[in-house]
Amino acid sequence: MEIPYHDLVLEFGTPTYVYEGSRMTRTLAHVRNVLHPRLEVFYSLKANPNISVFALLHANGARAEVSSLGELRTVLAAGAVPEDIIFLGPGKSDDELAACISANIYAIVCEAFDELDRIERLAGERGVRQRVLLRINPASSAPGARLAMGGKPRQFGIDEKALLAEPGLANRFRHADLAGVQVYCGSRILDWQAIAANTRYALDLAEEVAAATGIRLDAVDIGGGFGVPYFEGEHALDLDALAEVMNPAIERFARNHPDTRMILEMGRFLVAAAGVYLVRVRSVKESHGQSFVITDGGTHHHLPAVGIGSIARRNFPIRLLEDAAGPDEVCQVAGLLCTPNDLLGRNVLLPKPRIGDVLGIFQSGAYGLSASPGLFISHGFPAEVLVHEGRSYLVRERDDPDDLLRKQRHHNFQ
């Protein structure tokens, strides 16, 4: 279905993030249909933490992987049952651990031995047992991950070697119920062979750790890291090819462990392609022979498109959402921030945009708003709109200056 961008812009203004709900649910359905049915998809809220985005995915079978009190509150408010929530992150506070225990979530993914001691104490104080999955930092790295997590010094998880050297670990705790492992090998993987290899590695490692430490395997979380193509030359992950090699490995493990939950974590893959960031052209000018198109968006809403911090800075797909008024020309698509880095697209070939035209930055449903410095220059965050089954829902109000001032304390030094 075509998204009525112009109607949305008239109703909600710009800049605005628009999410196509059916695209998310279709992707989720595809994953669930082609991958082994024993795999449970846990949506990583950090990719897009909007409560309605989660509510839609949850209504279509996604469970929840969260990393903060805010994300935990979000998924509980959206109706996720505790049994389908896991909490993960390298620096959890006592408040977060206590909230997980009080909410009786399925598992805390533990990232360090000292954290294990804290879970033991906090669960003990409440007289309960809390299921814990041990996050393992694998001894070798994932081939093909754009953001490799394993095989190197990392702040995440417990080194594979250190864990394997802990016989009797399971019996050392009474309230921390060590009952599974989590292995996350990397992010933005587009190569199905790499994901299949990671999965086999994780499953083998789970059995090895269980044998070495005596922990149960109520659950094995094989991570995920499914990528989406952003740039020219990148190709979409072939889910069907992945299923063909991954499913037999899942099947083998599932048969040997009929009661083990098998968890797949997935953020970007479900939401990235469903999002577009809509901006309006405010000014058009030439400078030293280059065409600049200045929009009402920018880095403060979409840091990934600007690419600050990326090694190779490349453009997200950008399109003019108007009938072309002239031939294509090479444009610098700038934001409105007072910094030269604020370029949403460099050397983009576009039909010459006019003032008032709307541009869309595509593939923007993941890590846009949630990974951008929204306070920079005090414009605040834009609106977010979810379009689903012919209706559009405002799912986040645009910030106004009062929103930004509300949390500040004004001390008068006259």
Ligand X SMILES: *Cc1c(COP(=O)(O)O)cnc(C)c1O
Compute the distance between CA of residue 201 and CA of residue 14 in angstroms, rounded to an integer: 46
- Residue list 80-99, contact with ligand X (CB under 6 A): 88
* One residue of 60, 137, 187, 213 binding ligand X per CB under 6 A: 187
* One residue of 15, 21, 49, 267 binding ligand X per CB under 6 A: 267
Nearer Cβ to ligand X, position 173 or 226?
226
Looking at 181-189, 309-317, 374-382, 385-393, which segment touches ligand X (CB under 6 A)?
181-189
Q: Are 263 and 220 in contact (CB under 8 A)?
A: yes
Looking at 77-85, 169-177, 182-190, 376-384, which segment touches ligand X (CB under 6 A)?
182-190
Centre a 10 Å sphere on the Cβ of residue 151 and count the other Cβ atoms it contains.
Answer: 17
Rounded to a whole number of angstroms, the minimum distance from the CB of residue 366 to ligand X is 6
Nearer Cβ to ligand X, position 90 or 124?
90
Rounded to a whole number of angstroms, the minimum distance from the CB of residue 65 to ligand X is 6
Q: Are 136 and 209 in contact (CB under 8 A)?
A: yes
Nearer Cβ to ligand X, position 23 or 188?
188
**Residue 364 one-letter amino acid:** S
Residue spans of beta strands (DSSP E) within 157-260 = 158-159, 176-183, 186-187, 219-221
Q: Please, what sign has the CA dihedral across residues 235, 34, 49, 199? A: negative
- Residue 365 makes contact with ligand X by CB under 6 A: no
Estimate the crossing angle of helix 21-34 against helix 239-256, to 10 degrees.
50
* One residue of 54, 184, 277, 381 binding ligand X per CB under 6 A: 184
Compute the distance between CA of residue 4 and CA of residue 321 in angstroms, rounded to an integer: 10
- Residue 44 makes contact with ligand X by CB under 6 A: yes
- Residue list 225-254, contact with ligand X (CB under 6 A): 225-226
Q: Please, what sign has the CA dihedral across residues 222, 54, 234, 245? A: positive
Contacts 24+ apart (CB under 8 A), 147-152: 147/186, 147/187, 147/188, 147/225, 148/185, 148/186, 149/184, 149/185, 149/186, 149/187, 150/183, 150/184, 150/185, 150/186
Q: Are 329 and 352 in contact (CB under 8 A)?
A: yes
**Per-residue binder mask for ligand X (CB under 6 A), 269-308, x = binder:** x---------------------------------------
Nearer Cβ to ligand X, position 261 or 268?
268
Candidates 105, 101, 109; CA nearest to 125 is 101
Nearer Cβ to ligand X, position 267 or 368?
267
Compute the distance between CA of residue 351 and CA of residue 331 in angstroms, rounded to an integer: 9
- Residue 353 makes contact with ligand X by CB under 6 A: no
Rounded to a whole number of angstroms, the minimum distance from the CB of residue 155 to ligand X is 11
* One residue of 131, 268, 300, 301 binding ligand X per CB under 6 A: 268
Q: For residue 15, is the peptide bond before it cis, meaning its omega torsion is within 30 degrees of 0?
A: yes
Total of chain residues touching ligand X, rule CB under 6 A: 17
Looking at 49-57, 136-144, 224-232, 397-405, which segment touches ligand X (CB under 6 A)?
224-232
Rounded to a whole number of angstroms, the minimum distance from the CB of residue 399 to ligand X is 25
Q: Can you give the binding site for ligand X, defined by CB under 6 A? A: 44, 46-47, 88, 184, 187-188, 223-226, 265-269, 366
